[in-house]
Amino acid sequence: MLKVERLAKIYPTAAGPLAVLKEVSFDLLAGASLAIVGPSGSGKTTLLGLCAGLDRPSSGTVTLAGESIGVMDEDARARVRNEHVGFVFQNFQLIPTLTAVENVLVPVELRGESGPEIEAEARSLLTRVGLGSRVDHYPVQLSGGEQQRVALARAFINRPKILFCDEPTGNLDGDTAHAMVDLIFGLNREKGTTLVLVTHDPELARKCQRMIRLRSGGVVEDTARE
C-alpha cells in the first residue's frame, strides 16, 4: 500500500540548507498499522505529509496504492489523495460555517458527488462516532473531542485505502483521547484501512503493529509488535 525509498526533504534557510528528512525508507502492506514516533523536530509530520501527498520530497520516492506520487504535480497528487487517502489533522480543520454533516460531506463534494445516499452515509458515519444527535451542529457548538470525531468521520467518507493521522489525540483530554483511539482502531478494523499515525502517546503507538522512531530526520528504530 505504501512504499518509501530514500526519502529526503530539504528546506532552504538563511543559514543554508536544512535537512528535515534524511534517506528514510520503509514499506507497509495493505491493512497494516504504523506509528511514527520521535521527539519534536525529528521530521514526523514532514514524513506523514510526504507519504500522504501533501508535499513533494526533495529526493527519493513515495509509492501510494501503486502510484508514484513524489514526482506528481499538485493536481495529480490531489486526485490520488481524493481517491485513496483519509487524513485526520491535530487541529481538526473543520469549516466553521458548515454543520457537522456538511463538513463530513466536503471531500465527496470536491469530487462532484452528491445525493441522498451519500448524505445518509455521512450521517451514518457520524452516528458511528457517537454524534448521531449532533449532525446539524456547527463546530463552535461542539467540544474538541466532538470536533475530532467529525474529522474522523470526514476522513472515512471517501472510503480511503489508507488513513493518515497527525497527533490525533494531541489536543484531547485523557478520557476523550482513549475514546478517539478506540474509534480509530475500530474503524480501521471494520473498513480494512491501512493506518499511519504520528504520535507522542506511547499507549497509542503500542496499539500499532509496527513502530518507526525518527531522530534528527533519520530512522533510528523500526520494530514490529509480536
Residues 28/194, Cβ–Cβ less than 8 Å: yes
Question: Rounded to the nearest 5 degrees, what angle is found at the Cα of 165, between the Cα atoms of 68 and 214?
Answer: 75
pLDDT tens, position by position, 54-82 = 888 999 999 988 888 888 888 888 888 88
Tell me the CATH number at 40: 3.40.50.300
Q: What is the C-alpha to C-alpha distance for residues 136 and 87, in angstroms, rounded to an integer?
A: 22
**Per-residue pLDDT tens digits for 189-219:** 888 889 999 998 888 888 899 999 999 999 9
- What is the pLDDT at residue 226? 61
Q: Considering its fold, how many domains does the chain have in total?
A: 1
Domain that holds residue 152: 2-224
Residue 88, pLDDT score = 85
Beta carbons of 220 and 67 less than 8 angstroms apart? no
In this prediction, residue 16 carries a pLDDT of 85
Task: State the Cα–Cα distance between residues 94 and 88, nearest whole angstrom.
Answer: 10
Structure confidence at residue 5 (pLDDT): 94
Question: Which residue carries 469549516 as its cell?
Answer: 95
Contact in structure between 131 and 153 (CB atoms under 8 Å): yes
- 1 near 65, Cβ under 8 Å? yes
Q: So what's the pLDDT on residue 144?
A: 84
Give the C-alpha separation, 215 to 22, whole Å: 10
Full-model pTM? 0.86
Can you tell me the distance from the alpha carbon of 204 to that of 207, in angstroms, rounded to the nearest whole number?
Answer: 5
Residues of the chain with confidence (pLDDT) below 50 = none
Outline where DSSP puts E strands in the chain. Answer: 2-11, 18-28, 33-37, 59-64, 67-68, 85-88, 162-166, 194-198, 210-215, 218-224
pLDDT of residue 175: 72
